[in-house]
C-alpha cells in the first residue's frame, strides 16, 4: 500500500472539501471586518451569525449562548478561569474550589494547576480502571466553596465517555456550574445541552473536519461568566478581537456536515474499529485494550503492548506509511507515560507500550487489515530484539 494511512483523527482531522469551498469567499472576496457599519463588512457579520445559528442548533442551545474562540484550549481556559473569577466577585476575599478528573486534557489539567497556584482549590474526582468517574464518590468531594465541576465528555486517549448527564444532575443539585470539554465528542456523538443539563461546553473545529485555530464555548444564558479577553465589543462584549470569519464559516459548515452524517459515519467507523480490536486481541499476544469497552467513542482503540515502547513503535509504523499516536513521550532523556494511563492504574512498564488508533472518514477496511499486519511485525521484532 503506497498511500499514507492516517489513524490519528483524535489529534486532528482533514478539512473537508465542502468546508474549504464555504471558506474561500471569506478569504478572497468578502474580507470585510464584521464590526464595520457598511454593507461590505455586514456580509462577514451575517456569515458569522449564520454559523452561530447552525452550531447552536446542533446542541439545542440558543444562538446568543455560542461564543467563538481560537479553539478548545482557549474555551477550556475561559470556562475554568472565569468561573473561578466569578466566584471571587460574588464572594469577596474568598477563593473557589473546582472538581475535575485526573484524565482530563492538559488544557484542563494545566489550567487547574495555574488556578491552584493562585489560591483556588482543586480536587480530582476518582475514576475506575476504564476511566469512568465513580459517581458514588462525587458528592463526597464537594466543599462549601465548590463553584464548578469540569469533566470531559469523552477522553482523548482511551475514548471512554463519561456519565455527563448524571454529573450535571449532581452539579445542579449542589448549585455548581457544570462544564464539559467536548472537544473529542462534538460532531461525533449527539449532544443536547438542555436535556443533559450542561452549563458550559468547549469544542474545536479541527476535530470534526473544520479548520484549525477556531472553536466555540457554549455558555448557558443564565450564567454571567466574565469576559476572558478584553479590548473590544466582539462576541457580545464577552471575547474581544476581530473574528476569524473564514474559520467560523468553516466550523459552521463542518458542524452541519458532521451532524448530518453522524449516524451513518459512526456505524461505518465502528465496524472498522471493531475489526481492528478483534484482530489485535486475537493475533498479538500481550495486547491490553484500554478504556471502557461499551461506553466509548466509536472511532477510538487504545492498546498497551508489553515488551515495547509505544513511541518507538509509532516511529516504525510511520516508516510503513501508518500514522498513529503513542501514549508516551520522551522528555529530557526520560520516557514519560500518559497521565491518563497512570490515573487508571496501568503499570508504568505496560503504559510505556501504549498506542492509540483513531479512525476517520477517509479510512477503509483494507487499511485496517494492512495496519494490523504491519503492527504484528513491528511488535514481534521489537520484543525479539528487546529494543525500544
pLDDT 10s digits, 153-206: 999 999 999 999 999 999 999 999 999 999 999 999 999 999 999 999 999 999
Residue 187 phi/psi, 5-degree rounding, is 90, -10
- Asked if 5-12+261-385 and 17-257 have one fold, the answer is no
Long-range contacts of 116-121 (CB under 8 A, 24+ apart): 118/84, 119/95, 120/84, 120/95, 120/96, 121/95, 121/96, 121/97, 121/145, 121/146
Predicted pLDDT of residue 240: 85
Cα–Cα dist 309/327, whole Å: 9
Cα–Cα dist 46/32, whole Å: 11
Predicted pLDDT of residue 157: 97
* Dihedral angle sign, alpha carbons of residues 118, 124, 130, 134: negative
271 burial via Cβ count (<10 Å: 0-12, 13-18, 19+): middle
Residues of the chain with pLDDT under 50: 329-334
CA 279 to chain centre: 27
C-alpha cell at 315: 516511529
Phi-psi region of 70 (alpha: psi -120 to 50; beta: other; left: phi over 0): alpha
Predicted pLDDT of residue 332: 37
Cα–Cα dist 350/309, whole Å: 9
Name the packing angle between helices 39-59 and 245-283 (round to 10°).
30
Measured in Å, how far apart are the chain's first and last C-alpha atoms? 26
Which residues are CB-neighbours of 102 under 8 A, at least 6 positions away?
109, 124, 125, 127, 339, 343
pTM of the model: 0.95
User: Is residue 330 among the annotated active site residues?
Assistant: yes
Query: In the chain, what are the domain boundaries?
Result: 5-12+261-385, 17-257
C-alpha cell at 194: 438542555
List 147, 304, 323, 330, catalytic entry: 330
Cα–Cα dist 282/139, whole Å: 41
Residue 200 phi/psi, 5-degree rounding, is -145, 145
Long-range contacts of 377-381 (CB under 8 A, 24+ apart): 378/308, 378/313, 378/316, 378/317, 378/320, 379/284, 379/305, 379/307, 379/308, 379/313, 381/316
CATH top class, domain 17-257: alpha beta
Predicted pLDDT of residue 233: 85
DSSP H stretches of helix in 174-293: 193-196, 234-237, 245-283
Predicted pLDDT of residue 209: 98
Residue 109's closest CA among 348, 328, 343? Answer: 343
DSSP string, 95-114: --EEEE-TTS-HHHHHHHHH
**Topology (CATH) of 5-12+261-385:** 3.90.1150
Amino acid at each position: 500500500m503506497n498511500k499514507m494511512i492516517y489513524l490519528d483523527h483524535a489529534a486532528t482531522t482533514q478539512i473537508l472539501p465542502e468546508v474549504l469551498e464555504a471558506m474561500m469567499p471569506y478569504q478572497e472576496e468578502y474580507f470585510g471586518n464584521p464590526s464595520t457599519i457598511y454593507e461590505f463588512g455586514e456580509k462577514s457579520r451575517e456569515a458569522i451569525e449564520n454559523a452561530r445559528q447552525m452550531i447552536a442548533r446542533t446542541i439545542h442551545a440558543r444562538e446568543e449562548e455560542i461564543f467563538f474562540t481560537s479553539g478548545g484550549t482557549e474555551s477550556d481556559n475561559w470556562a475554568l478561569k472565569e468561573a473561578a473569577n466569578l466566584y471571587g466577585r460574588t464572594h469577596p476575599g474568598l477563593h473557589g474550589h473546582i472538581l475535575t478528573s485526573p484524565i482530563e486534557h492538559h488544557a484542563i489539567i494545566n489550567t487547574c494547576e495555574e488556578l491552584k497556584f493562585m489560591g483556588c482549590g482543586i480536587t480530582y474526582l476518582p475514576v475506575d480502571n476504564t476511566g469512568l468517574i465513580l459517581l458514588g464518590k462525587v458528592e463526597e468531594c464537594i466543599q462549601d466553596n465548590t463553584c464548578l465541576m469540569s469533566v470531559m465528555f469523552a477522553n482523548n486517549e482511551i475514548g471512554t465517555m463519561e456519565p455527563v448527564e448524571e454529573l450535571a444532575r449532581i452539579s445542579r443539585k449542589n448549585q455548581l456550574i457544570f462544564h464539559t470539554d467536548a472537544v473529542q465528542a462534538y460532531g461525533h456523538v449527539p449532544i443536547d445541552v438542555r436535556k443533559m443539563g450542561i452549563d458550559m461546553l468547549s469544542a474545536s473545529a479541527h476535530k470534526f473536519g473544520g479548520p484549525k485555530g477556531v472553536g466555540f464555548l457554549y455558555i448557558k444564558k443564565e450564567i454571567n461568566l466574565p469576559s476572558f479577553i478584553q479590548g473590544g465589543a466582539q462576541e457580545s462584549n464577552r471575547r474581544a478581537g476581530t473574528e476569524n470569519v473564514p474559520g467560523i464559516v468553516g466550523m459552521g459548515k463542518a458542524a452541519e456536515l458532521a451532524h448530518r452524517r453522524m449516524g451513518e459515519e459512526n456505524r461505518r467507523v465502528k465496524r472498522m474499529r471493531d475489526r481492528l480490536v478483534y484482530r489485535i486481541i486475537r493475533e498479538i499476544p500481550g495486547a491490553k485494550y484500554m478504556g471502557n469497552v461499551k461506553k466509548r467513542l466509536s472511532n477510538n482503540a487504545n492498546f498497551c503492548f508489553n515488551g515495547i515502547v509505544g513511541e518507538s513503535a509509532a516511529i516504525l509504523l510511520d516508516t510503513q506509511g501508518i500514522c498513529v499516536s503513542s501514549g508516551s513521550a520522551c522528555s529530557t532523556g526520560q520516557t514519560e507515560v500518559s497521565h491518563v494511563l497512570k490515573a487508571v492504574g496501568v503499570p508504568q512498564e505496560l503504559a510505556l507500550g501504549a498506542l492509540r488508533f483513531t479512525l476517520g472518514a477517509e479510512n477503509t477496511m483494507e487499511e485496517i487489515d494492512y495496519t494490523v499486519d504491519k503492527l504484528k511485525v513491528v511488535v514481534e521484532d521489537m520484543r525479539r530484539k528487546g529494543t525500544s
